[in-house]
Amino acid sequence: MKYIVDPSLITKAQSGDTDSMTRLIEEVQNPLFKFCIFLTGNTQLANDLCQETLIKVLENINKVKDPESFRSWLFKTAKNFYLDHLKSPKNRAHEPIEELNKYVSKDTSPETLIRLREALVNLSPDERLVLLLVDLEEYSSLEAAQILDISEGALRSRLHRARQNFISFF
């Protein structure tokens, strides 16, 4: 679900206002965690990614030139931490998507939840990223392409392939 961060909150945080920094974290923490849990499928890893992302964001808040782009920068930072995690030799045995039931609608049937887990596990990290950014976080193709550092055409191609692979489980 796409959310908007108040640009004045970012500007105040950049000026060192600790109340604004706290409010900023409170505003982005839940959407960021939801993104990370769907990306990783593991609560502990999602928590770690969120923590690393929020620390990096606060340390570098002054680098945000356009407060309107903060949301994209936040998710791009989380994505980069996740990809770094996957590249690390000690993390090769990546845990499967296991804890999604806490983050989907209570009306979701057990069969659908099983298929959802299966579908997400079988997507590559790149496919999962494009699906989450466009279909869960509601980024435009252009915004998602910028977050992933790829062309819009490449994003559309990956998104089409990811949706086909995802749907094949249903």
Q: Where are the beta strands (DSSP E) in the chain?
A: none
Question: What confidence score (pLDDT) does residue 131 get?
Answer: 92
CATH code, 7-167: 1.20.140.160
pTM above threshold 0.85 = no
Tokens of 114: 């099983």
For the chain, the farthest-separated pair of C-alpha atoms sits apart, in whole angstroms, at: 50
Closest CA to 10 of 75, 59, 61: 61
Question: What confidence score (pLDDT) does residue 114 get?
Answer: 73
Q: Is 9 helix (H, G, I), strand (E, B) or coil?
A: helix
Question: What confidence score (pLDDT) does residue 91 get?
Answer: 61
Cα gap 22→112, rounded to integer Å:
37
pLDDT tens for the chain, residues 1 to 170: 555 788 899 999 999 999 999 999 999 999 999 999 888 888 899 999 999 999 999 999 999 999 988 988 999 999 999 888 887 766 644 444 555 666 677 787 777 777 787 788 788 888 999 998 998 888 999 999 999 999 999 999 999 999 999 988 77
Question: What confidence score (pLDDT) does residue 90 get?
Answer: 64
The amino acid at 103: Y
Question: What confidence score (pLDDT) does residue 101 get?
Answer: 64
Question: What confidence score (pLDDT) does residue 134 get?
Answer: 93
Domain boundaries, the chain: 7-167
Question: What confidence score (pLDDT) does residue 94 get?
Answer: 46
Evaluate whether 161 touches 127 at the Cβ level (below 8 Å).
yes
